[in-house]
Amino acid sequence: MAIKIWSRTGSKASGKKETAASARTEKQTEEKPNKVHRPAVRNILVLGKTGTGKTSLLNYLYGFDLPTGAGLPKTGKGLHENVITRNGIAYHVFDTWGVEADSLPEWRQEVLALVRKRNTSPRINDWFHAIYYCFSANTARIEEAEIEEIIVPLLQSGCKLIVVLTNAEDGFRKQEKMEGMKEYLCTELEKRLHYDPQLEIIPVVNVAGETLAGDIISRFGRTEALEAARYNLADDIKKRLPAIYKMNVMNKLGAWKERSLLLLANGKISFVLNNNSAKQLIDLINYDLLNTFGAIDADGDRLEAEANEYLLAEGGRKPLDKRWRPEFRRITYVKGYEYSKGLSVGLAFDIASGLLRSAKSIRDNLGRRVEKTYAAIIESMQKKKTE
Ligand SMILES: Nc1nc2c(ncn2[C@@H]2O[C@H](COP(=O)(O)OP(=O)(O)OP(=O)(O)O)[C@@H](O)[C@H]2O)c(=O)[nH]1
Ligand SMILES: [Mg+2]
């Protein structure tokens, strides 16, 4: 089970391996001035029962000044989006309040629908960039329903959760309590999941204070929590981007094929100038194919730029690995030109051999060429993938 438990000093129990190559890229990016813009949007979701320190956690991690504690209006219970702009970043904060164990099943629908909608978006801007689940180490209570209704379904839908144990300041049997919570959580998750969940467990003190004996309690856990969020987001980007890109490639090529076949079915073909009409049609189809390849490339670049905004923001040093779209390396503008040339050469050959005698033969012939080109492009993508 890949549950990473953070120590108070912030080192992970299962340390990250650092290769020479990754160290090199880090160094390179450090030397270069950071030209990448910061992302303008951050979506954050905080879950947990009432009084577990969710709002305090947001204030501590992101420097907000949201009202916490007792005396808050208990109307409007549930999930709320709050937009807070700080240092040019719009934080879309989804905080919850007043949630008790008995309202978990109804809360579950709302949370899961929201997370699924956002995290399947092709724009990184829409995703949740951090999801925290709070338990208080004071009460040390973890309800089975919280695991069953919220944590497990979220993990199953591919989310990464950061479990925060709030109120982690020293206290009567505090360490023992926290160990117990971690153990209970791990055992319960192992029972329900049959793969490694992406989960971090981080002890945090959200508010500074004083013990009864007059000792100062300082806050801690911020660096660890933010680092975990950054690590999770980087992993999501790495895993989701190729699929998003592939879907876009398929959609764009499919649309090109449909447009071309429609053009061939309805395009004007002059009986006097059969061969010229055929050339004109294939030129239009070629031009469209080149544009399609250009658009695919541009979309890939835009996706990469958006990913790097997030990866390089707030102290992140590793840009997206340049090989993030390897199986689609053939799908480039240059390759598109080769395919389009293939269409023209094939046509010239058919004209020379006198194959195109009627409008119908032109339509059929060119239609077959479009289908063949489309199949060849898709096949080349799949071949590259299994190589
Ligand atoms: N000592 C200590 N107090 C904390 C900590 N986190 C939160 N608190 C206090 O616990 C109380 C509840 O915190 P909130 O942040 O309002 O809790 P919440 O989860 O947002 O509660 P609801 O909005 O009602 O769901 C407040 O009085 C906080 O000051 C912590 O880590 N240590
Ligand atoms: Mg709150």
What would the pLDDT profile of 240-253 be if each residue is shown by its tens digit? 998 899 899 899 99
pLDDT of residue 27: 44
Three-state DSSP class for residue 202 = strand
Which ligand approaches the C-alpha of residue 166 most closely? 1
pLDDT greater than 90 at residue 268: no
Nearest CA to ligand 1 atom 32: 167
Q: Report the range of poorest mean pLDDT among 40-54, 137-151, 325-339.
A: 325-339
Portions of the chain given CATH number 3.40.50.300:
3-220
Of 348 and 152, more confident = 152
Which ligand approaches the C-alpha of residue 77 most closely? 1
Q: Give the tokens for residue 254.
A: 């499919």
Q: Write the pLDDT tens digit of every residue in 279-326.
A: 888 889 989 998 998 888 889 989 999 999 999 987 778 898 888 875
Q: Which atom of ligand 1 is nearest to the CA of 217?
A: 1
Please tell me the distance between residue 70's alpha carbon and the centre of ligand 1 in angstroms: 9
pLDDT tier for residue 271 given thresholds of 50, 70 and 90? low
* Average pLDDT over the chain, rounded to an integer: 82
Mutating to test ligand 1, I would choose from 44, 47, 56, 57 the residue with most ligand atoms within 8 A of its C-beta, which is 56
* Highest averaged pLDDT of the listed ranges 77-81, 130-134, 167-171, 285-289: 130-134
Rounded to whole angstroms, the Cα distance separating 51 from 91 reads: 22
Q: What is the DSSP letter of 269?
A: -
Three-state DSSP class for residue 78 = strand
Of 31 and 120, more confident = 120
Q: Within 10 A of 267 (CB to CB), how many other CB atoms are there? A: 18
Rounded to whole angstroms, the Cα distance separating 166 from 146 reads: 16
pLDDT of residue 175: 92
Please tell me the distance between residue 53's alpha carbon and the centre of ligand 1 in angstroms: 3
CB 21 within 8 Å of CB 29:
no
Three-state DSSP class for residue 314 = coil
Q: Cβ < 6 Å from ligand 1: which residues? A: 48, 50-56, 68-69, 97-98, 166-167, 169, 204-207, 209
pLDDT of residue 253: 93
Q: Which atom of ligand 1 is nearest to the CA of 206?
A: 31
Give the percent of the chain with pLDDT over 90: 44
Residues 6+ positions from 275 with CB-CB distance below 8 Å = 351, 356
Residues forming a β-bridge with 166:
136
CB 366 within 8 Å of CB 278:
yes
pLDDT of residue 36: 55
Q: Which atom of ligand 1 is nearest to the CA of 58?
A: 15
189-204 mean pLDDT = 86
The single-letter code of the amino acid at 186 is C
pLDDT of residue 15: 39
Mutating to test ligand 1, I would choose from 8, 45, 47, 55 the residue with most ligand atoms within 8 A of its C-beta, which is 55
Nearest CA to ligand 1 atom 8: 53
Of 378 and 244, more confident = 244
Please tell me the distance between residue 310's alpha carbon and the centre of ligand 2 in angstroms: 27
pLDDT of residue 31: 42
Residues 6+ positions from 214 with CB-CB distance below 8 Å = none
259-287 mean pLDDT = 84
Of 106 and 272, more confident = 106
Please tell me the distance between residue 347's alpha carbon and the centre of ligand 2 in angstroms: 68
The single-letter code of the amino acid at 155 is L
Q: Hey, which CATH number is domain 3-220, 3.40.50.300, 3.90.420.10, 3.40.50.720, 1.10.3720.10?
A: 3.40.50.300
Rounded to whole angstroms, the Cα distance separating 357 from 365 reads: 11
249-277 mean pLDDT = 86
Q: Report the range of poorest mean pLDDT among 42-46, 206-210, 333-337, 365-369.
A: 333-337
Q: Which atom of ligand 1 is nearest to the CA of 99?
A: 25
pLDDT of residue 383: 64
pLDDT tier for residue 24 given thresholds of 50, 70 and 90? very low
Q: Give the tokens for residue 21.
A: 């190559």
The single-letter code of the amino acid at 273 is L
pLDDT greater than 90 at residue 34: no
pLDDT of residue 73: 52
Single pTM value for the model: 0.83
